[in-house]
Amino acid sequence: MENHQHTLQIPLTGPETILEIKTRPSMGWIFLKAVLISPFRRNTIEDHAIIKRNRIVLNQYIPDKAEIIKYRRVCGFSHDRPDIIPISYLQTLFIGLLGKFITASFFPINPLGLIQIFQSFERLRPVKTHEVLDLACTLDGIKKTNSGIETHFTLEVMSKSQIVWQGVSIFFTRSPVKKKKPSKKKDEPFSGKKETIVVPSGTGRRYAAVSGDYNPHHLYTVLAKLFGFKRAIAHGMWSLARVVASLDRAFGIPDAAAIEAAFKLPIFMPATTLLGYDRQEDTQSGLPIVNFELRDKQKGLPHIKGRLLYKN
C-alpha cells in the first residue's frame, strides 16, 4: 500500500500588516532572541491556526561596495563588471530581515528549528552598486505535512519603485514525531562537465563576515556539535553562490536570469565537492537552461541540485 503524505495549506488571513525597519538587523541580537524564545515556540502548528499576513520592509538601503568586493572574493566571483552586484549577493541583504521575521511575535514556529531547503532568485536586470534599494520580506505560505512544516518567504528588491530582483526562500521544520531517517542513496553520475570545488575549514567564518549569517553551526566544530552536527557545516547559500560563480565563468550569467536550487545534505568542512553542469535548450522557449548538481566528490552524495534559467 502506498504511503500518501498528508498536506495541509494553512491560510493567511486579514489585511497585510507592514513593519518598516530603518537599518539591517543585528544577527547577534536576533540569534540571542531566538535562543530565548525557542522554549516557548512549538515545532508544529494546529490545523486550524490563524496566521495573519505580515511584511517587513527596509527602504532606502545603499549597498556596501567594500562588502560586495569581499563577497566576490569569498564566493569565487570574477571581478569583471565590478559595478554590477552578483545575482546571489542580493539574497544576503535579507538574512537580517528573515531573522527578524522568524523571531517576531507574529511568527508561530520555533525559529531554531528552521532548515533552509530551497532558494530561488530572479534578476530582471543588472543591479548596480550605487543604486538605492527598497527591500521587502513577506511570508507567503505555510504548508503542514506529516513530516513537518514548510514556510515560504518572498523576497523583493526594488529600485525607483520597480522590482529588479525577487526570490523565494523555503524553510522546513521537522515534526516532533521521530521518523526513520531516509537512506543516503548515491545517485547516478552526472553526465555534464565537472569541476572540483574545495571547501576549507574556515569557509563558514569567511562567508559569515560578508553575509552577516553568524549561525554558530557554520563557525566552529565545537559550536556545531551543540546543534547535533559532527563538524561545522558550510552555509547553503555560500555553496550556491560558489556554484553560481563557476557557472558565470563557464557561460556568463545573463542580465535577465533565474536560479532555482534545492538544498540536500550539508557540507561538513573541510570537504572536497564536485560540481557537474550541462547546458541545454528549453524546448518551448528556445532559451538556454543549465542544470547543475554539487556533490561530495568521494561518496557522490548530493548537496545542491538546481538550474540556471535564461530569461528574455
Cell of 219: 563557525
Q: Which domains does the chain have, with CATH numbers?
A: 1-179 (3.10.129.10), 186-312 (3.10.129.10)
Average per-residue pLDDT for the chain:
91
Computed over its alpha carbons, how large is the radius of gyration of the chain?
Answer: 19
Q: Per mean pLDDT, which range of 53-62, 130-139, 169-178, 244-253 is the poorest?
A: 169-178
Residue pair 232/268 in contact by the 8 Å Cβ criterion: yes
Query: Does pLDDT of 2 surpass 50?
Result: no
- What value does the mean pLDDT take over residues 166-193? 74
Grid cell of 170 as nine digits: 523555503
How far is the C-alpha of 300 from the C-alpha of 296, rounded, in Å? Answer: 5
| Top-confidence residue, 192 or 128 | 128
C-alpha distances out from residue 81 to 26, 69, 72, 128, 142, Å: 30, 11, 11, 10, 39
Least confident of 53-67, 172-186, 229-243: 172-186
